[in-house]
Amino acid sequence: MEEDKKLPCYVTILDRKFKYTISPEEESLVRNTVRSVSDKLAELRQRKNFHDNQELLTVALVQFALDKAKLEAAFSDAEKELRFLDSQLDEYIENNVNSL
């Protein structure tokens, strides 16, 4: 089986260029993620005057981490609800199969 081909992906964040080596399938995801990061940085920069890019990046990092934590909590809650509904469905099927 042929090994996945990797390609260079160049992106710019806050005027710094970065090179990632990624699979072709990841390129769109990487570019969209970098666009999202750049948009968040521009939004934060408009709302507040930061001393330097390190401060700006730190605030953005904390906001992204908070968003991730909220999504993980929501996913966990949804997963618990689905497990509960699945157990109710199993119980319903078991009770109705026995009564046939």
Backbone torsion region of residue 15, taken as left when φ is above 0, otherwise alpha when ψ lies between -120 and 50, otherwise beta: left
User: 1-47: what fold?
Assistant: Double Stranded RNA Binding Domain (3.30.160)
Q: Is the predicted pLDDT of residue 1 greater than 50, yes or no?
A: no
7-64 per-position pLDDT tens digit:
999 999 999 999 999 999 999 999 999 999 999 999 999 999 999 999 999 999 999 9
Amino acid at 91: E
Q: What is the pTM assigned to this prediction?
A: 0.69
pLDDT value, residue 100: 59
The answer to whether the beta carbons of residues 8 and 21 sit under 8 Å apart is yes
Residue 83, CB-side half-sphere exposure with 13 Å CA sphere: 6
Give the mean model confidence (pLDDT) for residues 69-96.
92
Give me the count of residues in the chain: 100
Contacts 24+ apart (CB under 8 A), 27-34: none
pLDDT at 4 over 80: no
Is the predicted pLDDT of residue 82 greater than 90, yes or no?
Answer: yes
